[in-house]
Amino acid sequence: MSTIPEHTDGAAPADSLLAWTTRPASLTLPDFHLSAEELRSTLAAVLTQFQQDLEAIASDESPADFYNTVVALEKAMEPLRRLFAVAGVLQGSAHTDDNSDALAEIDAELSSAFLGVELNSALFNRLEAINDASLLPEDRRHLQLLLADFIRAGARLDDDGKKRVEAVSAELTRLENRFANTVLAETNASAFVIERGGPYSPDGLTEAQLAAAAAQAQERGVDGWVLPLESTTVQPPAESLTDPETRSALFAASADRCSRGGEGDTRGLVADITALRAALAGVLGYSSFSEYAIEPQQAGNPEQASSLLISLLEPANQQLQRELDTIEKTAQPQRLAAEDIPFWLRRVGSQLYGIDHSEISKYFEFNRVLHDGVFYAASVLYGLSFENVTDRFAGRLWDETVTVWEISEGAKVLGLVCIDPYTRPSKRGGAWMAELVTGARLTGEQPIITMTMNVPRPAPGEPALLSLDDVNTLFHEFGHVWHGLFADSTYPSRAGTSVPRDYVEFPSQLNEMWMLHPDVLPNYARHITTGEPLPESLVEQIKQAQKFGQGFGTIEYLAAALLDLSWHGLEPGEQVEAVLDFESEVLSAAGFSPSVQPRYRSPYFMHAFSFGYAAGYYSYLWSEQLAAYVSEWFDQQGGLKAESGQAFRRSILAPGFSVDPEQAITQFFGEQPTVDPLLRRRGLPTREQTQAEVPAGSPADTSAPAGSPAQAPAETHSEAPREI
């Protein structure tokens, strides 16, 4: 079965992408400087071999058993996963006009191949014929999940139904790629320009922000400063800019992108994508795409997902009102529009708690945070050691700023992590982890992982200073890294982070707890010039200041999550043409104030319309509920302790999806979490506090009437590698 032989006339060159995708990776990396021609030729060769293997498995005349069908299929699909992962790195971090079309072809062809597997009648019949009575528990679970995946994809449909699924899925892949590329291009084109002597002012930006903005301006030939847009509605510089008109213009540049008409407008794509997803759900027997997408998740159905969101709405609204009242009393601003709230939250929070964010960032230099913070915590918890092996891959990486780390436990090498920290025009916004190679016993492979951020690149010779949000993001993404690194499952498709969306964010959000933990913070928070540690007096003030603004932050998240569920609550046959009107109606019906915009508005909501998180943005909150509970457990066990870390790693992280996550949690902790630790983590009123403050007989009614845009609510993935 399927690897391309090394010593034949048609063998792939040893250093080619084709060789890397079809032979053991063995902790090597491909050369990422790939031409469109090599991408296409690799795709053709991989697909040809895969179709031969698939035909051999499906038409095998011997009785179907676990090895000749399930194991054979798992092995045959590995080269496709590898190629998809390489294309994902280029698509997200090194996207150019030269490779754009080839990457879109890879996405379309591999997505079609993955779906074709699940719609293959002969293969499905063989899977159903396997007797699982004598299988080991992990093998039996894998077979049962595989059958469920096939059925959900449409394996039991008639030929016409399957053709409809294939046609709609192919069109969705095309539109989702177009959406992603358009958002990237429009976000780059919408970078906010402050010309020297012009109407806008950079006053209030930190020294590091000014230097980075000046460097961006120089690259673009602008006399002044350029602020590249990030993926969210609220832009980080908005917290610092003192001029109201500059804040307004920056807010408009961000919030109005992809909805100004022309080639950069994605509203038509949003309408078409959501209508097609609803149609696909209908063909598969579901009432909405949200019902289809959430069925295999931990939440199980849209009502459960929505219930958690709604349970936080009233506490978050209460906290937001307290925050706005505090701003009014403390600062008495002349204007408090949507674009002003982040600035005044930062300004008033700093005044209340004595925080100077520009000074605090000098204690968080990127490399020190990485080595003495993230790596240190993992070395104590999990017994890891780290070696920079970037030179081993000189000239092969997709950008000169990428570093590669070999991670070991004692004498055993566990895997590689490629770290890509800085923003650039060829990279989309946000931060994510992805697996180039998934560690699994079946393949004998060790994990190769990428961790990507969008920290503003410092001027030459200057240190990269992180905001508190950046530090939190770094710890968060490495929670995903540990989850992938510790993979100890037999099958790649169930290993590492190949778990439900609303569970995969739990390890990452849990890892955030070490950012300000007293067992970790003193080890890495040191002043960039003096080397002095962050004063203890400031630590508690930072914690309190972080909670000031949680009402706002929670509301903007809830708005985006509810919007996602509502878009995917459309019934088959429905199509929304007025995208922004629909958005306004959903948020108004649910009781959201127009003074707080969603974290992502529909026209640039990549999670919902491109990332594989369709009807899944609620997942971050679902996972955080579990993370909040487990962080309290770690503290009860004494904090940063190897005994706790190793037990958690063995029972929760390592098994991946080879065990049921809910059962693993219950077995390890003895219970399932409640929402109260989550409320405490966010500094929101607990249920008891909320009930005490709502007058008897007048609870807030957050339900939506039947048929309203918010009815459906009442941070992918089949075989394709997922970014998280």
Question: Which domains, from first to last, does the chain contain?
Answer: 17-156 (1.20.1050.40), 190-255 (no CATH)
Residues constituting the chain: 724
Which of 173-182, 379-388, 713-722 bottoms out in mean pLDDT, i.e. has the lowest? Answer: 713-722
In sequence order, the 6+-apart residues with CB closer than 8 A to the CB of 588 are 594
Residue 375 and residue 386 in contact, taking contact as beta carbons nearer than 8 Å: yes
Residue 169 confidence (pLDDT) above 50: yes
Query: Helix, strand, coil % (nearest 5) of the chain?
Result: 55, 5, 40
Helix axes 536-547 and 341-353, enclosed angle (nearest 10): 150
> What is the pLDDT of the chain when averaged over all its residues?
92
pLDDT of the residue at 522 = 96
Query: Rounded mean pLDDT of 234-245?
Result: 96
pLDDT single digits (tens) 634-670: 999 999 999 999 999 999 999 999 999 999 999 999 8
Amino acid symbol at 331: A
pLDDT of residue 687: 60
Range 585-601 average pLDDT? 94
To which residue do tokens 């000046």 refer?
214
| CA nearest neighbour of 499 among 637, 659, 271, 679 | 659
Which H or E run includes 409? strand 403-409
Which pLDDT band, with edges at 50, 70 and 90, does 9 fall under?
very low
DSSP assignment of 624-675: HHHHHHHHHHHHHTTSS-HHHHHHHIIIIITTTTSS-HHHHHHHHHSS---S
State the Cα–Cα distance between residues 316 and 663, nearest whole angstrom.
31
Helix (H) or strand (E) holding 421: strand 412-422
pLDDT digits (tens, 9 = 90+) for 427-481: 998 999 999 999 999 999 999 999 999 999 998 889 999 999 999 999 999 999 9
Distance of CA 485 to the CA centre of its chain: 17
Q: Which of 477, 583, 624, 723 is catalytic?
A: 477
Q: Give residue-wise pLDDT tens across range 307-329.
A: 999 999 999 999 999 999 999 99
pLDDT at res. 573: 96
Q: What percent of the chain has pLDDT over 70?
A: 93
Which residues, 6+ apart, have CB-to-CB distance to 40 below 8 Å? Answer: 102, 105
C-beta atoms surrounding 132 within 10 Å: 15
Q: What is the pLDDT of residue 723?
A: 61
Task: Determine the pLDDT at residue 711.
Answer: 28
- pLDDT by residue (tens digit) across 260-274? 999 999 999 999 999
477 is catalytic: yes
Residue 405: closest CA among 421, 391, 420, 388: 388
**CB neighbours of 442 closer than 8 A, spacing ≥ 6?**
71, 74, 75, 490, 491, 492
- Tell me how many helices (H) and strands (E) the chain has: 28, 7
Tokens 């159903």 locate to: 128
Q: How many Å apart are CA 207 and CA 603, to the nearest integer?
A: 33
User: How open is the CA angle 191-196-197, to the nearest 5 degrees?
Assistant: 125
Checking if the pLDDT of 709 tops 70, the result is no
**What's the pTM?**
0.90
